[in-house]
Amino acid sequence: MTMYFNEEHSALRDMVRRFVDKEINPNVDDWEEKDVPLHELFKKMGDLGLLGITYDQKYGGQGLDYWFDLVFLEELGHVKADGVPMAIGVQTHMATPAIHEYGSEYLKETYLRPAIAGDMVTAIGVTEPGAGSDVVGLKTKAVRDGDSYVINGSKLFITNGCQADFVTLLARTSDDPGYHSFGLFVVPTNLPGFVVSKKLDKLGMRCSDTAELFFDDLRVPAQNLIGEAGEGFVIQMKQFQHERFYALPGSYIGARDTIDMTIDYIKQRKVFGKPLITKQVLRHRLADWITDIECLKQLTYHIVRMKIEGLDATREISMGKLLAGQLSFKVSNGCLQMFGGMGYMNESLITRKFRDTRLLSIGGGADEVMKEIIARVEGF
Ligand SMILES: Cc1cc2nc3c(=O)[nH]c(=O)nc-3n(C[C@H](O)[C@H](O)[C@H](O)COP(=O)(O)OP(=O)(O)OC[C@H]3O[C@@H](n4cnc5c(N)ncnc54)[C@H](O)[C@@H]3O)c2cc1C
């Protein structure tokens, strides 16, 4: 029992920790070479009830509150390759929250339930070759035709895109300007007209598959629209809040692990006759980062309290996402420096941390996009 967590939280923490230690970390070096086998991993997680912690028990979820979600995400922060928690996060926090909140009974039974069980792998399709930060600029079209929508267009940088059974897809349903011309669809990838046009090669997150997708006259039933017609953009903006929140716990836990690993190294590494840890400039740098990490953690705990109260945490989540992206790369880059030449060798885990943590300031809304949101909410 601690200030925030009781025995039930601890039991979940132990279970996720065991899962990370036994089923994930021993495999990550292998997966970095050839992608995470998502169906296999998610089935194991689904069997343990880990893919729907806050989701309604009616659809196989656990019906637990956001503190349990936080515990789950904190423990995933110990995974030694960020591409694994990212793939899991797509399943739990990026591609399914909108179905849970706005989907029809049909969509929840047909897609949410198997996603929670780990029987279906999901992806979220928003970004396009011509539209990333500027989501409103997306061009993929969904045109209503009888009981279907016909989808044409392409999506870029889609995580889990090569393995997904369905993509939660944002498409334009009319050319009218403004925010009410979009639909968010559940698009099964076994429909004719779905093409994985390219598997992309990346700087980091190398165990995560990232795809370019192409939709060629793909006909999806109209009942696969999530929520009201025209409201897809608004629904996706809400879904982004779950996506961005997902990134926070893993960031402060991962950064702390990086620091601990670095402290272990500089304790034994002698330079000019003394262990590096004795250098005040390095000790102070580490103390600065640990202070920043505590601030991010406390902001995250504050967000959990806001979410539980049902308050809009857009401002705080945007701040947290901004801080998480900047801090995790600052720490991995700075720690790499403390490893010296060893930090530049691929045999050191710090090289992977350095590559993987570079993404967060770009993906899921770049730092500049977070700053625009914060400025707007602040009223300037
Ligand atoms: C590995 C990886 C996985 C991804 N997974 C997914 C996924 O699963 N699903 C999905 O839909 N997308 C995914 N993305 C896409 C990601 O969300 C976008 O890359 C991101 O939103 C930025 O869009 P963009 O790449 O088009 O950059 P652009 O919009 O072209 O922006 C380029 C840069 O300009 C700067 N910028 C942006 N806006 C402003 C501004 N207002 N003022 C000043 N500077 C600004 C930022 O630094 C930004 O990084 C993924 C990307 C990567 C790299």
pLDDT tens-digit readout, 263-313: 999 999 999 999 999 999 999 999 999 999 999 999 999 999 999 999 999
Same domain as 143, residue 81: no
> Which residue range forms the structural domain that includes residue 185?
122-230
Residue 171 domain flag: yes
| Confidence tier at 127 by pLDDT (50, 70, 90) | very high
Distance 132 CA to ligand 1 centre (A): 5
Q: How confident is the model at residue 1 (pLDDT cuts 50, 70, 90)?
A: low
2 domain residue, yes or no: no
Ligand 1 centre to CA of 92 (Å) is 21
pTM across the whole model: 0.98
Q: Which amino acid is at 351?
A: T
Name the residue at shortest CA distance from atom 42 of ligand 1: 368
- Give the count of beta carbons closer than 10 Å to the beta carbon of residue 303: 23
Q: Is the C-beta atom of 361 inside 6 A of ligand 1?
A: no
Q: Over the chain, what is the mean pLDDT?
A: 97
In this structure, is residue 353 part of a structural domain?
Answer: yes
pLDDT, mean of residues 5-19: 97
Considering 205, 230, 255, which residue would you say is the last residue of a domain? Answer: 230
Is there a single domain that holds both residue 74 and residue 185? no
Is residue 162 within 6 Å of ligand 1 at its C-beta?
A: no
CA-CA-CA-CA dihedral for 250, 256, 258, 262, to nearest 10? 180
Given pLDDT bands bounded at 50, 70 and 90, which one contains residue 3?
A: confident
- Mark whether 57 and 73 lie in a shared domain: yes
Instruction: Specify whether 246 is located in the same domain as 343.
Output: yes
pLDDT of 340 > 90? The answer is yes
Structure tokens at 162: 């090569």
CA distances from 80 to 19, 28, 71, 250, 344 (A): 13, 7, 17, 11, 17
Does residue 85 form part of some domain? yes
Ligand 1 within 6 A of 150 CB?
no
DSSP string, 271-319: ETTEEGGG-HHHHHHHHHHHHHHHHHHHHHHHHHHHHHTT---HHHHHH
Q: How far is the CA of 89 from the centre of ligand 1 (A)?
A: 17
Please list the residues that pair with 210 across neighbouring strands. Answer: 159
Q: Is the CB of 374 under 6 A from ligand 1?
A: no
- Across the range 318-328, mean pLDDT stands at 98
Q: What residues are annotated to the active site?
A: 243
SS3 67: helix
In a domain, residue 101? The reply is yes
156 lies in the same domain as 210: yes
Domain of 359, CATH number, reads 1.20.140.10
- Burial class of 310 by CB neighbour count within 10 A (0 to 12, 13 to 18, 19+): exposed
- Which class for 325: exposed (0-12), middle (13-18), buried (19 or more C-beta within 10 A)? buried
Residues 185-242: pLDDT tens digits? 999 999 999 999 999 999 999 999 999 999 999 999 999 999 999 999 999 999 999 9
For the chain, percent of residues with pLDDT exceeding 70: 100
Average pLDDT value for residue range 160-171: 98
Residue 181, CB half-sphere, CA atoms under 13 Å: how many?
A: 14
How much is the pLDDT for 93? 98
Which atom of ligand 1 is the closest one to the Cα of 372?
41
Whether residue 1 lies inside any domain: the answer is no
CATH code where residue 24 lies: 1.10.540.10
* Residue 373 and residue 254 in one domain: yes
Q: What is the mean pLDDT of residues 50-54?
A: 98
Q: Which of 87, 117, 147 finishes a domain? A: 117
Same domain, 289 and 197: no
Residues 242 and 172 in one domain: no
Atom 2 (ligand 1) nearest CA? 157
Nearest CA-CA partner of 271 in 329, 334, 337: 337
Number of structural domains (the chain) is 3
For residue 300, the CA-to-ligand 1 centroid distance in Å is 23
Q: Is it the case that residue 2 has pLDDT exceeding 90?
A: no
User: What is the domain-level CATH number for residue 212?
Assistant: 2.40.110.10
Give yes or no for a contact between 277 and 266, defined as CB atoms under 8 angstroms apart: yes
Q: Is 166 exposed, middle or buried (0-12, 13-18, 19+ CB in 10 A)?
A: buried
Per DSSP, the three-state class of 194 is strand
pLDDT digit string (tens) for 56-106? 999 999 999 999 999 999 999 999 999 999 999 999 999 999 999 999 999
Distance of CA 203 from the midpoint of ligand 1 (Å): 15
Q: Is 73 in the pocket of ligand 1 (CB under 6 A)?
A: no
Pair 182, 256 in one domain: no
Q: Is 227 helix (H, G, I), strand (E, B) or coil?
A: coil
Please state, as a whole number, how many other Cβ atoms lie within 10 Å of the Cβ of residue 7.
Answer: 8
**What is the torsion angle, in degrees rounded to the nearest 10, for the CA atoms of residue 296, residue 298, residue 301 and residue 305?**
-120
Pocket test for ligand 1, best of 32, 127, 160 (most atoms within 8 A of CB): 127
- Between strands 166-172 and 122-125, the pairing is parallel
- Give the phi and the psi of residue 125 in degrees, each rounded to 5: -115, 95
Find out whether the beta carbon of 158 lies less than 6 Å from any atom of ligand 1: yes
Asked, for residue 321, whether it belongs to a domain, the answer is yes
Q: What's the token pair of residue 359?
A: 């993404």
245 and 225 belong to one structural domain? no
Give the number of the atom of ligand 1 that is nearest the alpha carbon of residue 131: 26
Are 79 and 134 contained in the same domain?
A: no
pLDDT tens for each residue of 254-263: 999 999 999 9
**What is the arithmetic mean of pLDDT over 150-163?**
98
